[in-house]
Amino acid sequence: MSAFASLGPMLWKHHQLVWGKQTYVMGIVNVTPDSFSGDGLQNGLLVEEIVVQHAIAQAQRFVAEGATFIDIGGESTRPQAASVSIEEEIARVVPVLRALRRDLGPEVLLTVDTYRAEVARQALAAGADMINDIWALTHDPDMAALAAEQQVPVILMANMRGYQKREIVSDVIRFLSAAIDTALRAGIAWEHIIIDPGIGFGTTVAENLALLRRLGELRALGRPILLGTSRKSSIGQILGGLPVSERLEGTAATVALGIAQGADIVRVHDVHEMMRVVKMSDAVVRDTYMLPGS
C-alpha cells in the first residue's frame, strides 16, 4: 500500500479531519511536574489558577502557530515516572480542558492523554474531543466501551514496555492490529481510530530508527498514523548526548522523514519550528505548494 494512499475522512460531532492533503500538528501541553521534556506546567509552587492561565497561554500560542490539536496530559509517561492517582490526574487536566474549551475556538481539537477511563470520561465532559491512550485500550478495561459510548476518536499507541519483542516493526504492527480489533469489538467506529508506533515506549535506539525507516509499513493497517518523536531520548543519544533543550534539529529531521513515510499527525513540543518543517515537507511529498497567482 502506498505511503500516501487515501483514507476516508474522520467525522464526529462538528469535527472533520481529511487525511492525505496535509500533515496535522499536535501541540503538547503537559500539566505535570516531571515531564521528560522539561516543559511541565505543574509544580508544588503554583496554584491551580496560575497553572490554568499558563496552559491557556501555551495552547493559544500553539494554535496561533498552526496547531490543529492540543494534547493535554496530567501524568508523565517517561520511564520510571511516578504514577499519580486518578483523583490527582483529574484535578490536573479537567480545569485546563474546561478553560481551553471556553477560550479556544470549536475548530481546535482537544485531546486528553490518559489511559484511565474515569479520567477520560471527565475530560470529555470538560470539553475534550478525543482520547490519546498510550496503552491502546489495554490498561483499563472500561476505556474501549467509554470511547464507543461517547462516539469519539481514539489514538492507539503501541507500547512495548513488558512486551516480548522479536522484530520491532512486526511487533508494533501485531500490537496495533490487536488494539484495532479490541476497539472494533467494543463498538468504536473504524473511522475513529488513529495509530501511533510508540517511539521510545519500551524500544531501543536501533528499534526507534527501524520504526522511522519503515513507518510506511504501518499503512497496511489502513488507519491514519500519528508520530511522536519530539525531544525523545533517542535523538539526544544519536547526536552525542544532547540534552532535551538541544534536540530541536534532531526532532525536525524525524518529523520530515516521518512525513515522507506517511505520517498524518506529528505530536510536538515546538510548534512554531515544526510547523515550518511540516509545510516544507508537505510541499515536497504532498505537492501542497501553490505558485503565486495560481
DSSP string, 228-259: --TT-HHHHHHTTS--GGG-HHHHHHHHHHHH
Q: How many separate domains does the chain show?
A: 1
Q: Is 267 a catalytic residue?
A: yes
Q: Is residue 143 in a domain?
A: yes
Encode pLDDT of 206-248 as tens digits: 999 999 999 999 999 999 999 999 999 999 999 999 999 999 9
Q: What local confidence, expressed as pLDDT, does residue 38 receive? A: 46
Asked if residue 12 lies in contact with residue 229, where contact means CB atoms within 8 angstroms, the answer is no
Which of 121, 219, 223, 267 does the annotation list as catalytic? 267
Asked if residue 72 lies in contact with residue 55, where contact means CB atoms within 8 angstroms, the answer is yes
Distance of CA 287 to the CA centre of its chain: 25
Query: Residue 193: which H helix or E strand, with range?
Result: strand 193-196
Q: Is residue 4 in a domain?
A: no
Report DSSP letters for 57-121, one per residue. Answer: HHHHHHHHHT-SEEEEESS--STTPPP--HHHHHHHHHHHHHHHHHHS-TTSEEEEE-S-HHHHH
Beta-carbon contacts of 85 under 8 Å, excluding residues fewer than 6 positions away, are none
> Smallest Cα–Cα separation from 264: which of 97, 2, 17?
17
Domain with residue 163: its CATH number is: 3.20.20.20
Q: Cell for 190?
A: 473504524
Q: Is residue 248 in a domain?
A: yes
Per-residue pLDDT averaged across 73-87, rounded? Answer: 83
Instruction: Say which residue the cell 463498538 belongs to.
Output: 187
Whether residue 34 is predicted with pLDDT greater than 80 in this model: the reply is: no
Q: Is residue 246 in a domain?
A: yes
Q: Is residue 72 in a domain?
A: yes
Q: What local confidence, expressed as pLDDT, does residue 80 receive? A: 67
Q: Is residue 197 in a domain?
A: yes
Which of 121, 223, 231, 232 does the annotation list as catalytic? 232
Q: Is 219 a catalytic residue?
A: no
State which residues form the domain around 60: 22-283
Q: Is residue 289 in a domain?
A: no
Enumerate helices (H) and strands (E) in the chain, giving the number of each.
9, 10
Average pLDDT, the chain: 92
Q: Cell for 242?
A: 544532547
Q: How far apart are CA 230 and CA 235, in angstroms?
A: 9
Q: Residue 2's pLDDT band (boundaries 50, 70, 90)?
A: very low
Q: Is residue 294 in a domain?
A: no
